[in-house]
């Protein structure tokens, strides 16, 4: 052992989905959007001022904060921006989850929550989803240090209603409740409308899914101005300038193009519904996804085996080697052509198994 080893933090990091460098692969493993970001982005990019790169960007990210606030009809004091929603949620854990009591989240959910809790030494308890992969509100009525869950949940794709969220908020007025809405734009009602009614609510969203900009790293949180000020104080105690100049300029362009955003979301939803039908016909079952992925299982075939068969045919989906979900595949929604190819390869797999 090296003499300094006992001073080093030991952690088990989150394992992100593969970002393969192979060309012509159909990548359906990290829930990216198959469509490019708003058309204005290319023009803004061409006009970016290289001389501005020498200067630090605006530490308050005002242009982007204002654009997001305006999109939701909120005040700028209700919006916080970070380097992807992971950055926003990590900072939220640090800012809001300071209690001896455990924070609570579902047993099957975004697999970064327990990683952050461990990183920041936050006690936590997981509450099991029921057999239909639904969150049970009453599990979250007891004493706790804070609550977080995605709506819709990941990797299940199952959504809850706003009245469900209000019920949880009312039972937990002494802690912060974070709703992680990474996938909300694909057919779920956002809790943004509850922000002015519940001062303990923080709603987190991202540009990585519905806004086609995972490569720019932009996420945001909305909540009452006191929560946002507390987040900004922690952020300014960590790194004053997190959002770089290109992300600020291009991010504004993306959020300002509402019609393109809505068109893309609708296209993804249409493709998802068609894919659900095709998967059903092949015997797959899945919770009713309101996201840009489908969490599917087959009563006859092994998920890991299908995963590998797809991989060998240049299609990557996600398989989690975790209790209760290890016979499921999480399949991101790509273009119609990509999903048709996926279905064809699965048909091929099934016919070979039957042969």
Q: Which of positions 314-353 make contact with a second copy (CB under 8 A)?
A: none
Q: How far is the CB of 88 from a second copy (least distance, A)?
A: 9
- Tell me: does residue 12 bind a second copy (CB under 8 A): yes
What is the gyration radius of the CA atoms in the chain, in angstroms?
A: 21
Distance CA 316, CA 299 (A): 21
Q: Which of residues 75-94 bind a second copy (CB under 8 A)?
A: 83-84, 86-87, 90, 94
The number of residues making up the chain comes to 355
User: Judged by CB under 8 A, which stretch of 112-120, 270-278, 293-301, 310-318 contacts a second copy?
Assistant: 112-120
Nearer to a second copy, 93 or 309 (CB): 93
Nearer to a second copy, 41 or 135 (CB): 41
Tell me the number of residues near a second copy by CB under 8 A.
Answer: 89
- Tell me: does residue 221 bind a second copy (CB under 8 A): no
**Phi, psi dihedrals of residue 330, rounded to the nearest 5°:** -100, 115
Bridge partner residues of 223 (DSSP): 202
CA 73 from centre of chain = 22
Q: How far is the CB of 52 from a second copy (least distance, A)?
A: 6
Binding mask 129-158 for a second copy (x = CB under 8 A): ----------------xx------------
Q: Which of residues 232-271 bind a second copy (CB under 8 A)?
A: 232-247, 250
Residue for token digits 């890991």? 304
Torsion on CA atoms 303, 294, 247, 177, rounded to nearest 10: -100
Whether the Cβ atoms of residue 283 and residue 298 lie closer than 8 Å to each other: yes
Question: Which residue among 97, 149, 183, 328 contacts a second copy (CB under 8 A)?
Answer: 97
Whether the Cβ atoms of residue 291 and residue 82 lie closer than 8 Å to each other: no
- Tell me: does residue 181 bind a second copy (CB under 8 A): no
Residue for token digits 């119609």? 336
């Amino acid at each position: 052992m090296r003499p300094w080893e006992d001073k080093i933090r030991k952690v088990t990091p989150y394992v992100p989905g593969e970002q393969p460098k192979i060309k012509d692969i159909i990548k359906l493993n990290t829930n990216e959007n198959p469509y490019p970001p708003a058309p204005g982005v290319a023009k803004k990019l061409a006009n970016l001022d290289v001389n501005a790169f020498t200067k630090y960007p605006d530490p308050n990210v005002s242009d982007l904060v204002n654009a997001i606030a305006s999109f939701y009809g909120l005040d700028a004091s209700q919006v916080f921006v970070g380097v992807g929603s992971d950055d926003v949620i990590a900072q939220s854990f640090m800012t809001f989850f300071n209690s001896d009591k455990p924070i609570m989240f579902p047993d099957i959910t975004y697999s970064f929550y327990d990683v952050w809790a461990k990183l920041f030494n936050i006690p936590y308890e997981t509450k099991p989803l029921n057999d239909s992969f639904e969150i049970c509100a009453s599990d979250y009525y007891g004493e706790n240090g804070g609550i977080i869950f995605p709506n819709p949940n990941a990797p299940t794709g199952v959504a809850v209603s706003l009245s469900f969220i209000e019920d949880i908020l009312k039972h937990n007025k002494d802690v912060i409740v974070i709703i992680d809405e990474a996938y909300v734009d694909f057919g779920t009602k956002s809790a943004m409308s509850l922000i002015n009614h519940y001062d303990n609510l923080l709603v987190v969203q991202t540009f990585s899914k519905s806004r086609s900009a995972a490569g720019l790293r932009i996420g945001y949180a909305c909540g009452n101005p006191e929560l946002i000020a507390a987040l900004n104080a922690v952020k300014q105690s960590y790194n004053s300038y997190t959002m770089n100049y290109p992300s600020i300029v291009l991010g504004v362009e993306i959020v300002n193009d509402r019609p393109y955003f809505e068109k893309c979301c609708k296209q993804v939803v249409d493709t998802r519904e068609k894919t659900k039908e095709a998967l059903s016909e092949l015997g797959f079952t899945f919770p009713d996804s309101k996201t840009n992925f489908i969490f599917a299982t087959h009563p006859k075939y092994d998920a890991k085996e299908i995963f590998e068969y797809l991989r060998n045919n240049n299609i990557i989906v996600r398989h989690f080697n975790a209790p209760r979900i290890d016979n499921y595949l999480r399949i991101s929604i790509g273009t119609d052509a990509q999903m048709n190819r996926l279905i064809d390869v699965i048909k091929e797999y099934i016919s070979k198994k039957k042969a």
